[in-house]
């Protein structure tokens, strides 16, 4: 516009309407196609495998444009085509029973079985996966199933036209080919192909056409010859470059985007455009090219299995639906971007929250220029609208920064109700969205964060487990317990709490940094954690009292020993004296026998169910049938090699081994189970003078032969290793019968 003073309101309206790319595309569609009673927008895919998050870009691109058209008062039909009459070309790497699927290559995918055993066929399985998820992100297209449409002869006329005008198609295809690759007049070309009606494979060739509906084909796989009729036979379909434009005309499509592969010069869109006009008299739909979606920081759980692709449902584990829409809506369609699972997740949630605050007037743009500021707000508002699932929320959603939410969830061990209660001011209408965010944050901290931000992961020290600190630090922690904790609820801000801790440090003449470290050790067994003032207020008075009152002061020397031992590599552990090596490699846990069953496949084997002090019971297989009756075992405490590498015994999994003594002086089989009535189930036993290592939870499996090499034995009635008795808290394991024997 050259005249600055042209219609001002017109200008504003334009800029308002066109502030998002979806609005610009909608305007282009209306301009190019004119005022229509109905605008059909299309998307589609071959369900030949898991529909991944990159494929989702096409669906949401159409959805955003559909919303923009509707915002202009237009009536819109959003169709999603499942191209399930395409041929099954390749077995993807992430499917079960690949050798079974292999047998169905060259079949239409709708006739391939679902090797997951869930749906009626392979195509349907992948369709269901998407159809059940799309409503979660506010997308509700009308699904069209091409196999059923072709087989019900809906496209008989479209196919007949293609057969009759095959020379026209040839010319269209030739238009984008260089001379070397052009089809000659003498080359045989058929736009229609057939799946053999005997063997279902598409390895057929057309041998005759009657000029109307009759087509004769020969199967090169099974030799069958068939004369079919386009009006009644089920096996015919069009090749992709004709199928696509035929369906544009059939559904009167006026918008459909395409991936880079289709929308390149001379690509399938270009030839389809010619075919659409010349054969069917329909102007090809307005299109736009969308770029790829890359992935960043995909956690092991999602990417480990072979050929695993990231689907919509995977992305929704980490991103609440509004935020996922926001990611797609805020990126230009023809630009590549990444979906992140690493620390960027926090940044993306922060960006969404910032947009939300701007929209609800809780934040101001930094922009000083009024006109630009207004423009920016309009853009943010439109982006926010397009990100919502079902229209604008009635009230401003409850905002908890994603990072803080991970702290809250970990403090409450994933209990969402407790987190919501602790926030104190969540309105009922805000709960649903907040719960979704909680679910994502909890998934992220457990599955993604350990690989990208291990220092953000923690759990409060379990009850019954004591913390060890240097004596002066333990005393300082006790002072925090007596001086700071009682008034924790009366602090107005996190800073007040932080200040109170500084005061304790000053009074005790300690470096504040050291006291912080001591408090983290006491609370979560780590040297760092969430900001302490805020964290202690989140933990709350009651739990702080429990955690800080179970701290023991130990000598600096012992502490130094402990921290030195911590940093050992496996090779270094191998160099340690035997008892110390044992302590760092083997976990012996007292366990109570809760159930004794005969192994169905071995008369000398029991299946024992144990209470190891863990939440879940443990199952082991033991070959002691000839020595003990079930009633002699039931309810007794035994010693379990807790981290023995699991093994199968005649089809039953054994997760560990119980300890028994035997007589070394005889060839005969002898066995005395080592009972441990003096210990509680869950007690970890160590060689005398050793304490349970801090990293016991992270210890690897020990193989049975490695365990045997350690040479556990009985001497003078006690179980020992390298002259050190095995026990805990000054009590030791003992035996009655084989007082100087072997232990295994």
For Zn ion, the binding residues (CB under 5 A) are 196, 198-199, 219, 221-222, 224
**CB-nearer residue toward Zn ion: 219 or 298:** 219
Min dist CB 110 to Zn ion, Å, is 17
Min dist CB 112 to Zn ion, Å, is 16
- Planar angle of CA 21, 23, 28, nearest 5 degrees: 95
Q: Which two tokens stand for residue 317?
A: 């584990």
H-type alpha helices, 252-369? 268-280, 300-303, 312-318, 321-330, 344-359
**CB-nearer residue toward Zn ion: 198 or 296:** 198
**CB-nearer residue toward Zn ion: 203 or 632:** 203
Instruction: Answer whether 260's CB lies under 8 Å from 291's CB.
Output: yes
Q: How far apart are CA 309 and CA 541, in angstroms?
A: 46
Min dist CB 242 to Zn ion, Å, is 23
**CB-nearer residue toward Zn ion: 217 or 535:** 217
Min dist CB 171 to Zn ion, Å, is 32
Min dist CB 85 to Zn ion, Å, is 17
Q: How far apart are CA 616 and CA 655, in angstroms?
A: 12
Instruction: Answer whether 69's CB lies under 8 Å from 56's CB.
Output: no
Min dist CB 203 to Zn ion, Å, is 7
3-state secondary structure of 305: coil
Q: How far apart are CA 518 and CA 532, in angstroms?
A: 11
Beta bridge partners of 673: 660
Q: How far apart are CA 493 and CA 671, in angstroms?
A: 64
Instruction: Answer whether 338's CB lies under 8 Å from 294's CB.
Output: yes
- Distances in Å between the alpha carbon of 537 and those of 265, 424, 425, 431? 62, 13, 16, 22
**CB-nearer residue toward Zn ion: 204 or 643:** 204
**CB-nearer residue toward Zn ion: 198 or 715:** 198
Return all residues near 210 (Cβ < 8 A) that are at least 6 apart. none
Min dist CB 224 to Zn ion, Å, is 5
Min dist CB 217 to Zn ion, Å, is 9
Min dist CB 102 to Zn ion, Å, is 18
Q: How far apart are CA 192 and CA 156, in angstroms?
A: 11
**CB-nearer residue toward Zn ion: 201 or 382:** 201
Min dist CB 206 to Zn ion, Å, is 14
Instruction: Answer whether 552's CB lies under 8 Å from 471's CB.
Output: no
**CB-nearer residue toward Zn ion: 204 or 734:** 204
- The H helix count followed by the E strand count for the chain is 29, 30
**CB-nearer residue toward Zn ion: 111 or 647:** 111
**CB-nearer residue toward Zn ion: 195 or 280:** 195
Burial class (CB in 10 A: 0-12, 13-18, 19+), 281: exposed
**CB-nearer residue toward Zn ion: 107 or 412:** 107
Min dist CB 225 to Zn ion, Å, is 10
Query: Which 8-state DSSP code applies to residue 460?
Result: P
Q: If you write DSSP's letter for every residue of 640-671 in order, what string do you get?
A: EETTBPPEEETTEEE--EE-EEE-TT-SS---
**CB-nearer residue toward Zn ion: 205 or 455:** 205
Burial class (CB in 10 A: 0-12, 13-18, 19+), 672: buried
Q: If you write DSSP's letter for every residue of 135-156 in order, what string do you get?
A: GGGT--PEEEEHHHHHHTTTTH
**CB-nearer residue toward Zn ion: 222 or 708:** 222
Min dist CB 205 to Zn ion, Å, is 11
- Distances in Å between the alpha carbon of 147 and those of 47, 118, 436, 728? 11, 20, 37, 70
Min dist CB 126 to Zn ion, Å, is 26
Chain centre distance of CA 486: 42
Nearest to 519 by CA among 491, 489, 479, 559: 479
């Amino acid at each position: 516009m050259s005249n600055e003073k042209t219609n001002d309101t017109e200008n504003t309206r334009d800029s308002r309407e066109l502030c998002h790319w979806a609005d610009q595309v909608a305007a282009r569609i209306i301009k190019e196609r004119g005022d229509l009673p109905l605008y059909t927008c299309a998307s589609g895919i071959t369900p030949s495998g898991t529909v991944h998050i990159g494929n989702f870009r096409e669906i949401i691109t159409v959805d955003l444009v559909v919303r923009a058209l509707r915002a202009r008062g237009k009536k819109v039909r959003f169709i999603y085509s499942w191209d399930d009459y395409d041929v099954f070309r390749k077995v993807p790497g992430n499917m079960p029973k690949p050798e079974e699927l292999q047998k169905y290559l060259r079949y239409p995918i709708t006739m391939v079985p679902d090797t997951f055993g869930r749906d009626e066929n392979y195509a349907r399985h992948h369709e269901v996966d998407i159809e059940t998820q799309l409503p979660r992100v506010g997308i509700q297209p009308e699904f069209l199933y091409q196999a059923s449409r072709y087989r019900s002869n809906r496209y008989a006329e479209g196919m007949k036209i293609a057969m009759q005008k095959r020379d026209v198609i040839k010319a269209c295809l030739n238009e984008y080919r260089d001379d070397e690759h052009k089809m000659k007049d003498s080359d045989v070309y058929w736009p229609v192909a057939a799946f053999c009606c005997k063997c279902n494979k598409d390895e057929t060739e057309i041998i005759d056409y009657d000029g109307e509906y009759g087509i004769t084909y020969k199967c090169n796989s099974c030799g069958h010859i068939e004369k079919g009729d386009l009006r009644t036979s089920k096996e015919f379909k069009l090749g992709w470059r004709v199928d696509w434009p035929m369906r544009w005309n059939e559904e009167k499509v006026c918008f459909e985007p395409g991936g880079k592969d289709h929308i390149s010069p001379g690509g399938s869109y270009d030839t389809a455009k010619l075919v659409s006009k010349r054969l069917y008299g329909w102007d090809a739909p307005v299109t736009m090219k969308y770029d790829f979606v890359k992935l960043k920081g995909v956690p092991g759980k999602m990417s480990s299995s072979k050929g695993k692709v990231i689907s919509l449902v995977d992305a929704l584990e980490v991103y609440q639906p509004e935020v996922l829409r926001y990611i797609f809506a805020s990126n230009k369609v023809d630009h590549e971007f990444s979906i992140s699972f690493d620390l960027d997740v926090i940044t993306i949630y922060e960006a969404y929250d910032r947009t939300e605050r701007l929209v609800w007037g809780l934040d101001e743009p930094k922009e000083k220029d009024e006109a630009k500021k207004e423009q920016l707000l309009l853009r943010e508002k439109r982006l926010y609208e397009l990100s919502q699932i079902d229209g604008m929320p009635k009230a401003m959603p409850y905002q908890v920064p994603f990072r803080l939410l991970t702290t809250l969830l970990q403090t409450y061990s994933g209990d969402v109700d407790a987190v919501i209660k602790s926030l104190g001011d969540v309105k009922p209408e805000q709960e649903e969205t907040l719960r979704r965010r909680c679910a994502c944050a909890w998934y992220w901290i457990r599955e993604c964060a350990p690989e990208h931000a291990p220092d953000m992961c923690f759990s409060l020290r379990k009850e019954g487990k004591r913390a060890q600190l240097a004596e002066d630090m333990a005393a300082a922690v006790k002072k925090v317990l007596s001086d700071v904790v009682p008034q924790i609820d009366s602090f107005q801000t996190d800073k007040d709490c932080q200040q109170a801790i500084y005061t304790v440090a000053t009074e005790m003449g300690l470096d504040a940094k050291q006291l912080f470290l001591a408090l983290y050790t006491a609370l979560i067994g780590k040297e760092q954690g969430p900001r302490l003032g805020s964290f202690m207020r989140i933990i709350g008075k009651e739990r702080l009292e429990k955690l800080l009152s179970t701290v023991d002061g130990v000598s600096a020397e012992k502490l130094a020993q402990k921290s030195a031992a911590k940093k050992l590599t496996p090779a270094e552990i191998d160099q340690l004296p035997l008892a110390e090596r044992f302590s760092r490699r083997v976990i012996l846990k007292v366990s109570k026998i809760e159930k004794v069953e005969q192994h169905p496949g071995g008369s000398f084997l029991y299946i024992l169910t144990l209470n190891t002090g863990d939440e879940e019971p443990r199952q082991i297989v033991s070959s002691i049938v000839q020595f003990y009756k079930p009633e002699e075992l039931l309810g007794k405490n035994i010693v379990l090699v807790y981290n023995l590498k699991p093994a199968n015994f005649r089809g039953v999994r054994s997760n560990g081994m119980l300890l028994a003594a035997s007589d070394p002086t005889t060839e005969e089989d002898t066995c005395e189970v080592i009972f441990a009535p003096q210990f509680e189930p869950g007690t970890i036993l160590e060689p005398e003078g050793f304490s349970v290592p801090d990293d016991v939870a992270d210890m690897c499996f020990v193989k049975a032969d490695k365990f045997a090499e350690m040479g556990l034995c009985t001497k003078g009635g006690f179980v020992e290793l390298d002259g050190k008795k095995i026990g805990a808290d000054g009590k030791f394991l003992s035996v009655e019968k084989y007082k100087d024997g072997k232990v295994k």
